[in-house]
Copies of this chain bind each other. A is one copy, B any other.
């Protein structure tokens, strides 16, 4: 069985989190996740191939920003809000606000 690369909340690295958020596409993905909640990979209508999307989700996952749940053929992705807030209080909220997302 494959182990998903996903750090514990204690091991989040601030620079890695900021880096993951610093790409416009990834920032948009996070914004949508915050807005609409858990979604399957394919439901983000972003202008990129599935390979590119998969890459971006990997970056977000390894930074600790998202969690992936497998269900059948789908991968449902969600924001790790609780863990992020615990480790970096106020950070996600400020970023989402700055990104133009509606409040929590």
A94 within 8 A of B: yes
* Chain B residues, CB < 8 A from A15: 21-24, 27
Distance, CA A76 to CA B88, complexed state (A):
30
Binary CB contact string for chain A from 12 to 54 against chain B (1 if under 8 A, 0 otherwise):
0011101101111001000000000000000000000000000
Number of copies: 2
Interface of chain A, helix or strand or loop or mixed? Answer: helix
In this complex, which of A23, A87, A94 has the most chain B Cβ atoms within 10 angstroms of its Cβ? A94
Question: Across the interface, which residues of B come within 8 angstroms of A89, CB to CB?
Answer: 94, 97-98
Residue of B nearest to A90 (CB): B94
Q: How far is the CA of A51 from the CA of B16 in the complex (A)?
A: 24
Further contacts, 11 of them, CB under 8 A, given A18-B27, A91-B98: A14-B27, A15-B27, A18-B21, A19-B19, A19-B23, A89-B98, A90-B90, A90-B93, A91-B94, A93-B94, A94-B94
With most chain B CB atoms within 10 A of its CB, the pick from A16, A89, A90 is A90
